[in-house]
Structure 1
Amino acid sequence: MTEPVFRFAPSPNGHLHLGHALSALLNARAAVALHGRFLVRVEDIDQIRCTPELERDMFEDLAWLGVPLDEPVLRQSEAFPHYRSALEKLQDLGLVYPAYLTRAEIKRFVKAHEEKGGLWPRDPDGAPLYPGDDAVLSEEEIQQRSQSDAPFALRLDMKAALSRIGEPLTWQEYGAEGPALFEPAKSIAVDPAAWGDVVLARKDTPTSYHLSVVVDDARQGITDVLRGQDLYAATSVHRVLQHLLDLPEPRYRHHRLILGDDGRKLSKSNRDTSLRSLREAGATHADLRKRIGL
């Protein structure tokens, strides 16, 4: 059996919180339990919100957690040529198109549609599916935007992508912690159509989360993707991209989430759950483990 390789991939656009602590520790523990390796990847595509200071703080938090670092650490900001190559491959297959509708225009279109009594489909995260430029703009408007400096997104033509694949896809879901790590996998059928035409890149950003994560996992030889339950449904998109780009399929493990008092997933804006704040308030490792259920 190939040596298992796990990874923890935070974004330095805010301070790590309890949810990040759970994910980092579960990945590190799983690597030890399965006699594998544990890597840290810095997801710093957003060069405005991700700063060197926040990255430094992030590594200080990981050191306090006792999370080992296996050098070198991969930074997404240094991997743009790899994302560009993957995007060009999808473009060569005729599966990518420029989309010019802004978020505000999509919101207005969907609102008007639903005010007339219709229902507009939404993806698993609750965002409305892309309606297509021609549902809102005239041919002249589309042509004008394509010939100007208008912002755009590059989207995957999901219908064409699934037609090219032809066969049903699945992923293998394993347990995320404790004895469940060793249990047999469950085969999960993918449902990528539920996401519609996902964004692969934007005019000012050379990649998206969906594209970069599958490219990075393949580049680092990640065999086991252990991440939060909030990304469970997104695995369908990732399996489609892996198939189209001829990338290896990792094992997937989705762990429970740490929720705030309001029942919602933790946010980096909630300072009271940040590791830095807890540490400064005198929290110990035992306090932390108790709060995250380890």
Structure 2
Amino acid sequence: MKEDYFDIIIIGAGPIGIACALECEKRKWHYSVIEKGALTNSLFNYPKNMTFFSTSEKLEINDIPFISNNPKPNRDEALEYYRRVTTSNALNISLFETVESIIKSAEKFTIKTDKTIYHSKKVIVCTGFYDIPKLLKIPGEDLNKVTHYYKEAHNYALQNVVVVGASNSAVDAALEIWRKGGYVTMVIRGKEIGDRVKYWVRPDIINRIEEGSIKVHFNAEITEIKKNEVMIKKENENLTISNDFVIALTGYLPNFDLLKNSGVMLSSDGKNIPQYNPKTMESNVSGLYLAGVVCGGKETHKWFIENSRIHAKLIAEHLDNLQF
């Protein structure tokens, strides 16, 4: 198997991984970015009509202007922006290559992927959180009619669709499917729509629920999924409703196994927040840095592009101080 040697290996080619690569380019460090999917894989898998909460300037990296048609850019505009940043700067990125392990010995790291083995002095993990869905862990979740990702509404026209969750993604899916002629029922554990739902969308979903266009069961959860039905427990009541598709948008998790197997310590309070120095982003493993959403553990709502793009500069400045 071929082996390659680098100053820095960056794992993850999302916006924060790209930002880290740009910092390496500035300093002429020998680096490579490894990404298991497409460039900005999480953004690529977002719903086609998704609009960001942040304005375009808050999504910019390395002071490269992000021009969008509206103040809040959509998915396609973001894909175009980060792709152009990558190609115009000729960043060294290997796509569709999965990291299997990160092992430190002496003063170097060995990174094994499904294609090759890399050696590096430092590692930056920017793996995000979008690839591992939080499962319902109920009978029938493995049926083909169930998905934990939503792309577009056309497939659900004239179908009985259950949307699980009350977050932005669940609300967007429910509204789009209803507007394309789907018969939508939302199943929500809490007593109301999530408090972090985009402010311009919240009134829309509330009005659709109040007028009866979109049905909702609050304080409820699915207990079983069958071929043509869904079983719901609502407080002390058990319900059965007709169903063709279930879209369970209950959130996602970082790859904790990769972190733990690399020696990164996670908090024991149930939040699984990795240990790192917020001034340098270095983890408890010397030379292994964390950047982006992965820093939040299970609290994936705390870090996003807007407030974690600074991580790349913090890491680079720390390495500068070490005269790396």
TM over 0.5: no
TM range (shorter): under 0.3
> TM-score scaled to structure 2, two decimals?
0.25
Structure number with larger C-alpha Rg: 2
> TM-score scaled to structure 1, two decimals?
0.27
Higher helix share: 1
- Larger RCO (alpha carbons 8 Å, 6+ apart): 1
Higher strand share: 2
